[in-house]
Structure 1
Amino acid sequence: MADTAQGESADVAVVAQRRRRPTRAPHKGQQTKAAIVDAALALASHVGLEGLSIGAIAELMGMSKSGVFAHFGSREELQISVVREYHERFEREVFRPALAAPRGLPRLRALFDHWMRQTSLEIDSGCIYISGAVEFDDRPGAVRDALVATVNTWQAAVRKAVQMAIDEGHLRADADPAQVAFEIHGLILALHYEARFLRNPDGLRHARTGFDNLIARYQASRA
C-alpha cells in the first residue's frame, strides 16, 4: 500500500508540473470546476480514468476533498466530465482545423493528418479513447456510456468526411463510408501502438503510407 501511495503521489507531482493553466471562466465556481477538470484530465492521461480519485485531485489542486466533491457530487461524475472535456479538445485539435480544407479528399486527408499529429503529441501521456476502451469495455455504466457516445460522435464525423469525398467524385461511388472509416481508425490505432508502446520512430511514416495506400484503393478513376 505504501508503494502504491508513493506511486500515486509521483503521478500527481508529474501532472502538477505539466498541466496548463485553466481558461478563465465568467464565475469563480465555474473557473474552479474547469481547473479541476483540467487537472483531472492531465492525471487521467497518465493513470487512466480508473486512476482518478477525489483525494488525488484534491492533493493536485491544493483543495480539500469536500471542496472537490462539491463541484461534481461523485467520482463517476468527475470521470464523465473528463471524458467530455477530452472529446471537446479532440474536436478542437483534430476535426475543426480540418474544416479549413476544401470538401472531399483534401478535407479527409487534413483530418487524418491532424489525427496523426494529435496521436504523436499523446505519446508521453495517452489517448483517453483507447485507455478508456480497455478500462470500460465490459463494464456497463454511465462512464462507459459517455465514452461510447463521444466515440460514436467522431466516428460519424469520419464517415461524413468519407461520404463527402465520394460526393465530390474523389472516391469511388461504390466505396462504403463505414468501411473506409473503419480502416482509417485502424491506422490510427496501429500508430498509437507503434509510437507509444513500441517507440517505433517510423510509426508516423508507416501510418501516412497506409493512408495513401488506402486512398489509392478507393480513389475514383479519372476519365
Structure 2
Amino acid sequence: MSPRKSAVETAATRTRIIECALTLASAEGLEGVTIGRLATELGMSKAGVIGHFGTKEALQLATLDAAVEKFADRVPARAAGADPGVDRLTRAFDEWIAYMADEGHGGCFLTSVATEFDGRPGPVRDAVLAALSRWSDYAAAELRTAVDAGDLPPDTDVDQLVFELGGVGLAAGQAIQLHRDPAAPERARRAIDRLLGR
C-alpha cells in the first residue's frame, strides 16, 4: 500500500467515525457516544477507533467541529446571498428553523450539546461556547447593519434583540423535538418577523 493511499484511507476512516459519532450524539447526547458503541456500529476494534483521536475528549471535539461545519454550511452560508441586515438575518433564522425541523436530523446539535455541557467546565464546553458566541456575533453584526441602513430604529438594543431571537430559536427547537409540534416552525418564523419588524 502506498503512503498516499494509506493517508487517504486513514482520513476516510476518521471521517466515518466522526459521522457515526455525530449521528449517535444527535440522538443520545455527546457524552453517550462511547468508543465501544462506535466500534460496534462501525465494525472496528476499540483501539482502531480511539487510535484516530487519542482520547474520548478529542473525539468529542472533532465531532463538535463537524457539527459546527454542517451548521455553517446550512445556515449562514445559505443566507449569504440575501441583502445584509434584516433580510439576511431573517433568511439565516429561517434556515436554522428548517435545519432543526428536518426529518431525522435530531434538532440543533449545538443547542443540545450546550445544555449537556453548560455546567461542566472543560474544553468541550469552551468549544460549544465559542461556536454559539460566533452565532450571536453574526446576528449582532447583521442587526447593526440593519440599524445603520435605517431598517431598524436607531435606538435598537442589539444585545437584547440577539437574546430574544436566540430565545425563539431555543423554544422552536424544544417544540419541534420534544413536543413534536408541527406548527412550531411557522410559529417561530412569525415571532422572528415580529421581532425584526417585518
TM-score, with structure 1 as normaliser = 0.81
Residue of 16, 23, 27 corresponding to 1:42: 23
Is the 8 Å Cα contact of residues 74 and 99 (structure 2) preserved in structure 1?
A: yes
Aligned residues: 192
Residue 197 of structure 1 corresponds to which residue in structure 2? 178
Taking the TM superposition and a 5 Å limit, the aligned residue runs for 1:44-123 are 44-121=25-102
Tell me, in whole angstroms, the C-alpha distance in 2 between the residues paired with 1:176 and 1:166: 10
Residue 14 of structure 1 corresponds to which residue in structure 2? none
Residue 3 of structure 2 corresponds to which residue in structure 1? none
After the TM superposition, which of the residue ranges 84-93 and 196-205 deviates more from structure 2? Answer: 196-205
Tell me, in whole angstroms, the C-alpha distance in 1 between the residues paired with 2:192 and 2:104: 20
Question: Is 1:206 aligned to 2:175, yes or no?
Answer: no
Residue 17 of structure 1 corresponds to which residue in structure 2? none
The sequence identity of aligned pairs, in percent, is 38
Provide Cα deviations, 1:143-165, integer angstroms capped at 9, x if missing partner.
11111111111111111111111
Instruction: Give 1:43 shift.
Output: 0.6
Tell me, in whole angstroms, the C-alpha distance in 1 between the residues paired with 2:161 and 2:87: 15
After the TM superposition, which of the residue ranges 131-140 and 61-70 deviates more from structure 2? Answer: 131-140
Provide Cα deviations, 1:36-63, integer angstroms capped at 9, x if missing partner.
1011001100110010111111111111
Provide Cα deviations, 1:85-127, integer angstroms capped at 9, x if missing partner.
1011001000011011111221111111111111111665232
Instruction: Give 1:193 shift.
Output: 1.4
Residue 6 of structure 1 corresponds to which residue in structure 2? none
Question: Is 1:147 aligned to 2:138, yes or no?
Answer: no
Tell me, in whole angstroms, the C-alpha distance in 1 between the residues paired with 2:179 and 2:141: 32
Report the 3-state secondary structure (helix = DSSP H, G, I; strand = E; otherwise coil) of the residue aligned with 1:198: coil
Instruction: Give 1:134 shift.
Output: 2.2
Q: List alignment gaps of at least 5 residues for structure 1.
A: 1-25
| Residue identity opposite 1:197 in structure 2 | L
Report the 3-state secondary structure (helix = DSSP H, G, I; strand = E; otherwise coil) of the residue aligned with 1:71: coil
Taking the TM superposition and a 5 Å limit, the aligned residue runs for 1:166-177 are 166-177=147-158
Is the 8 Å Cα contact of residues 84 and 150 (structure 1) preserved in structure 2?
A: no
Is the 8 Å Cα contact of residues 84 and 146 (structure 2) preserved in structure 1?
A: yes
Q: List alignment gaps of at least 5 residues for structure 2.
A: 1-6
Are residues 184 and 123 of structure 1, via their aligned partners in 2, closer, same or farther at CA, if it must alter by over 3 Å? Answer: farther
Is the 8 Å Cα contact of residues 99 and 107 (structure 2) preserved in structure 1?
A: no
Is the 8 Å Cα contact of residues 57 and 124 (structure 2) preserved in structure 1?
A: yes
Tell me, in whole angstroms, the C-alpha distance in 2 between the residues paired with 1:76 and 1:126: 23
Is the 8 Å Cα contact of residues 100 and 106 (structure 2) preserved in structure 1?
A: no
